Structure 1
Amino acid sequence: MTAKFASLLVRATLIGAAALPLAGCISFGPKPPPTLMSLHAISPLAAGAARTSDDAHAVSVTVPAAPPTLGTQRVMVQAGPNSIAYLKNALWAASPTVLMRNLLAETISAKTGRFVPDTRFTGVQPDTRLSGTLSEFGLDGPGMTVVVTYDGTITRSGSTQIETRRFSARVPVASEDPQPVGMALDQAANQVAGEVADWIGTR
């Protein structure tokens, strides 16, 4: 072994040894919970015969806008008039806006019979377009109630009118544990989605 090679070997060993304590300090965020929370449509689209549609009867549903506090997979808790926290050991499977958009699409399609294309599908340009803002989607800590509030906007091709409406649902919870909070939010979100579907209608 040459002196130069031996020097390089010692140097590499020292670098590796120095990195070992550092590796134990690196953290890539909190450990995720064993299960993730999601929303499930009370009125799902049933399997069965194929349906046909055209632009006039299709409905586009966009992912709603939301305040920065909802731009996360964590479950928001309104801890006070001017304070926000997040529920411990609880994570959504996707952001609340994406989950709500998918629930709206499934419920509208099931209740109205109208085709709601995926946001990535460009083959249909629906005459009816639903957009909106998800302004509340979490737990009101002091009131021990979950709240879901969605401000919807409908525009239709060939019309200069814009229809807007606010939908809100509140469901009480017995504790701040993830399971009852998740079930209550699922119930509230389904109530809002059902009312939005009735608003869209079958025309």
Structure 2
Amino acid sequence: MTKIALARNAVTGLAIRPLVLAAPLAVLALSGCVSIGAGKPPRALLDLTPTAQVKAGATSTGQYDTAIAVLEPAADQKLAVTRVPVQVNATTVAYLKDATWIERPTRLFQHLLTETLRARGGHLVLEGDIGTAQTQLGGRLLDMGYDAPSQSVVVRFEAVKTGRDGAVSTRRFEDVVPGVSAEAEPVAAALNEAANKVAGEVADWVG
């Protein structure tokens, strides 16, 4: 039986956890003896770790008008919380048991994309809504979770790039990791793999 945390729906009999806002928590498995504040701490806190990282001591300089500003992507409510969504079927979303993001997924993906672009070099890359940056990279995080019917992890991102000449370009990126059991540790590893793959493809697209 998969470890998906669900709440009972009295009308349909389906087990569904409501979409609720979880408090931000701090990655990694926690010891059972550690507890901050009231309530039981989650068994695992998840993060995204970039496979392409800027080396310590590296510097980057440039002008604001030639810089790239990486914006936090928009997202539906299922990704506006610190839980890992599970697509149970076409119309039902639940959340993975014992798995909580360190920060909302859109922010984590923004950090990952920024670091990946910086590691590629060639641009001054800034994070956030820098109004004077002529090139802005944003978009919509469509999915970053677990698909129960196919037992797969899915990361899907609709990128929107506004260039220095005002031209707007869009492109959809997706990576799927199949054969993943519905448990916090393997899902976390697969999400990190898929998110890095997507971030790398976006960086190639930006150039």
Q: Smaller-chain TM-score range? A: 0.7 to 0.9
Look up the match of 2:162: 155
Correspondent of 2:120 among 107, 111, 117: 111
Query: Partner of 1:176: helix, strand, or coil?
Result: coil
Q: Aligned pair in 2 of structure 1 residues 137, 174: CA closer, same or farther (>3 Å)? A: closer
Q: How much does 1:30 deviate?
A: 6.3
Query: Partner of 1:138: helix, strand, or coil?
Result: strand
Look up the match of 2:171: 165
Correspondent of 2:182 among 164, 176, 179: 176
Identity within the alignment, %: 40
Q: Is the 8 A contact 1:132 1:153 kept in 2?
A: yes
Q: How many residues align?
A: 171
Query: Partner of 1:81: helix, strand, or coil?
Result: coil
Q: Is the 8 A contact 2:44 2:98 kept in 1?
A: no
4+ residue runs over 2 A deviation: 28-32, 48-51
Q: TM-score, normalised by structure 2?
A: 0.77
Q: For the residues of structure 1 that align with 2:39 and 2:149, how far apart are their CA atoms? A: 26
Q: For the residues of structure 2 that align with 1:66 and 1:30, how far apart are their CA atoms? A: 29
Which protein shows a greater Rg?
A: 1
Look up the match of 1:136: 143
Q: How much does 1:153 deviate?
A: 0.7
Please, which runs of 5 or more residues in structure 2 have no aligned partner? 1-36
Q: Aligned pair in 2 of structure 1 residues 37, 168: CA closer, same or farther (>3 Å)? A: same
Look up the match of 2:51: 42
Could you list the per-position Cα deviations for residues 139-173 of structure 1 after superposition, in whole angstroms to 9, with x for gaps in the alignment?
Answer: 001101000000001112333x2100000000124
Q: For the residues of structure 2 that align with 1:29 and 1:186, how far apart are their CA atoms? A: 30
Please, which runs of 5 or more residues in structure 1 have no aligned partner? 1-27
Task: Name the structure where helix makes up a greater proportion of residues.
Answer: 1
